[in-house]
Amino acid sequence: MTGGDPPRAASALEVGNPIVLLERITRGALVLVPVADGACIELVDKGGTLVCVCGVGALAGLVGQHLSRDASLAGATVASGITLRCEDSELDGRVDLGQCRRLGIRSMICMPLRREGAAIGVLNLSSAQVGAFSDDLVAAVSELADFVSAVVVSASQVASVVARMLRRIPGEEAVGPVRSDPPAPPDVGPLPGIAAFVADVLSPGATGRLELRRRIQTVVAGDAIPVVFQPIVDVATGEVAAVEALSRIPGPPDLPPDRWFAEAGALGLGQELELAAVRAACRSAALLPQGVGVAVNIGPDALTADAVLAAIGDLDPARVVVELTEHVAVADYGDLRSHVQELRERGVRLSVDDAGSGYASLCHILRLAPEIIKLDHELSQGIDTDPARQSLASALVTFSRLTGSALVAEGIETAGELEVVQGLGIDFAQGYYLARPAPVAALDLGGCRASCRRKLRLAS
């Protein structure tokens, strides 16, 4: 699972899509021209109107807008076919002054994009500074407009061919609004071998990603992810206080659970798969005794109050612990805290997973004040023979006491590890030594309690 905007594998259609390429160009333009704080590309549509098809920085808000050709520097650029510059928007009658003020633009350059000598749009760079663009700079970046023009024409033609050949691959949609002029030929039916060849030439590995995307979409649509539960044991009593739900997504392909969620995130399907797993876990957890809670794993991007409560369904929210993973950076803790508070008001508790393994988990703990902190298995495993691990765990015990959080040691695999965890005063333990994961129907909580009490050396 990943947060923010994780890198997503480009599909074959995206590689042939001129809009995707133009977006890359606008982002690169800001790096190439440091004095610019905004870049966009505006193209002339069939009705003769300028449409902003991509934009970054100060001009990102223009995307999708139809812009005036009569009272704008871009329109004047299309009409003249030459590069135009505005030194100060407050003094230049050619610009749309109202829009410049809204966007904070004081100077800009508009370079014409051409096809067969005719202007088809503009590349626009803007700055909040007066007179930001020198003569030398204008001359240098004018060459960029020639490159963008070539991309618009050639990539549109590639996009048209790719769209025809891959149009029937599930999960792929038609490319963006810029298309070549010739109409597409009649559909002659799918050509799997040729389609796969084209996809993998444009984007190596695209066929495999498409197959994986289809598989994940099938799993989500089926809404029946197999789930096993691993007991979380109260170290003081040996009782099973809760269980952690673990997804077991069947192949093909044969991937471990963390890879399934990582691949889903890379394909833009991470939230859907996480919430499908929560739904499956909560349905199965309804068969557990009332006093046993269930911990479900979810990333920050999928953790919204409405989505989580909908996934919990009819299960009592007070029985649910949301385990926030360590591996995802959080861009806006204020928004995340708001969602967590809504869940708390319904009875859901928060756990921070993998504590002690990295910086992100410490940020989660400090900023979200979880009810439960889970020690990463890398910290628990070998703790009986490593004084450094014992020292860090002891510090977290002290921290949890001061903050009122419960502490869970996961990954306990030996009697020695369990003995040290118990001696340090850690509240709960989880791991193969205590109990292995099992489907809900195979969980023997009474037998687990008796076994754990023996292993914890508690009186019967």
Domain containing 368 — which CATH number? Answer: 3.20.20.450
Of the chain, the percentage scoring pLDDT greater than 90 comes to 43
> Is 194 a domain residue?
no
Domain match, 275 and 126 both: no
> Is 324 a domain residue?
yes
Q: How many whole angstroms separate alpha carbon 106 and alpha carbon 131?
A: 8
Query: What pLDDT is stored for residue 234 in this prediction?
Result: 95
Domain that holds residue 305: 211-455
E-only strand ranges, 28-151: 38-44, 50-57, 66-67, 84-86, 107-115, 118-127
Domain match, 392 and 291 both: yes
Q: Among 107, 134, 163, give the residue marking a domain's end.
A: 163
Query: What pLDDT is stored for residue 167 in this prediction?
Result: 53
Place 359 in a pLDDT band, splitting at 50, 70 and 90. Answer: low
Q: What is the CATH number of the domain that holds 24?
A: 3.30.450.40
144, 123 Cβ separation under 8 angstroms: yes
239-257: average pLDDT: 91
Query: What pLDDT is stored for residue 197 in this prediction?
Result: 67
Domain match, 378 and 235 both: yes
> Is 188 a domain residue?
no
Domain match, 129 and 232 both: no
Total count of domains within the chain? 2
Give per-residue pLDDT as tens, 419-445.
Answer: 999 999 999 999 999 999 999 999 999
Query: What pLDDT is stored for residue 6 in this prediction?
Result: 37
131, 87 Cβ separation under 8 angstroms: yes
Flag the least confident range among 151-155, 296-300, 371-375: 151-155
Q: Among 163, 193, 221, give the residue marking a domain's end.
A: 163
Residue 41's SS3 state is strand
347, 317 Cβ separation under 8 angstroms: yes
Domain match, 220 and 106 both: no
305, 342 Cβ separation under 8 angstroms: yes
> Is 390 a domain residue?
yes
What tokens appear for 58 in the block?
A: 């100060």
Q: Would the pLDDT of 244 be above 90?
A: yes
User: DSSP character for 88?
Assistant: -
Burial 64-83 (b: 16+ CB within 10 A, else e): eeebebeebbbbbbbeeeeb
> Is 185 a domain residue?
no
360, 281 Cβ separation under 8 angstroms: no
Q: Is the dihedral of CA 258, 200, 13, 143 positive or negative?
A: positive
Cis amide linkage into residue 6, ω under 30° from 0: no
Greater pLDDT, 7 or 120? 120
12, 162 Cβ separation under 8 angstroms: yes
Residue 123's SS3 state is strand
- Nearest Cα neighbor of 374 from 346, 412, 348 is 412
Give per-residue pLDDT as tens, 63-121.
Answer: 888 877 888 899 999 999 888 999 999 999 998 888 888 888 999 999 888 888 788 88
Domain match, 149 and 65 both: yes
Q: Compute the half-sphere exposure of residue 82: CA atoms within 13 Å on the CB side of its CA.
A: 4
> Is 186 a domain residue?
no
Query: What pLDDT is stored for residue 149 in this prediction?
Result: 81
Q: Would the pLDDT of 126 be above 50?
A: yes
Domain match, 120 and 216 both: no
Q: How many whole angstroms separate alpha carbon 441 and alpha carbon 325?
A: 27
Q: Would the pLDDT of 345 be above 90?
A: yes
> Is 203 a domain residue?
no
For residue 258, give every residue at least 6 positions away whose Cβ sits within 8 Å of its Cβ, in sequence order, or none. none
Greater pLDDT, 205 or 4? 205
Query: What pLDDT is stored for residue 18 in this prediction?
Result: 63
Q: Would the pLDDT of 153 be above 70?
A: yes
Domain match, 215 and 158 both: no
Q: Would the pLDDT of 270 be above 80?
A: yes
> Is 1 a domain residue?
no
7-33: average pLDDT: 65
Query: What pLDDT is stored for residue 358 in this prediction?
Result: 55
Query: What pLDDT is stored for residue 166 in this prediction?
Result: 54
Q: Would the pLDDT of 373 be above 90?
A: yes
Sheet with 66-67, strands from edge to edge, namely 66-67, 50-57, 38-44, 118-127, 107-115, 84-86
Q: Would the pLDDT of 199 be above 90?
A: no
DSSP strand pairing (240-247 vs 293-298): parallel
Cis amide linkage into residue 253, ω under 30° from 0: yes
Residue 330's SS3 state is coil
Mean pLDDT of all residues belonging to the chain: 82
Q: If you search the block for the tokens 């004081």, which residue do you land on?
A: 106
Domain match, 375 and 236 both: yes
Q: How many whole angstroms separate alpha carbon 320 and alpha carbon 244?
A: 10
Domain match, 299 and 234 both: yes
Domain match, 225 and 358 both: yes
Burial 192-206 (b: 16+ CB within 10 A, else e): eeebbebbeebbeeb
Domain match, 426 and 279 both: yes
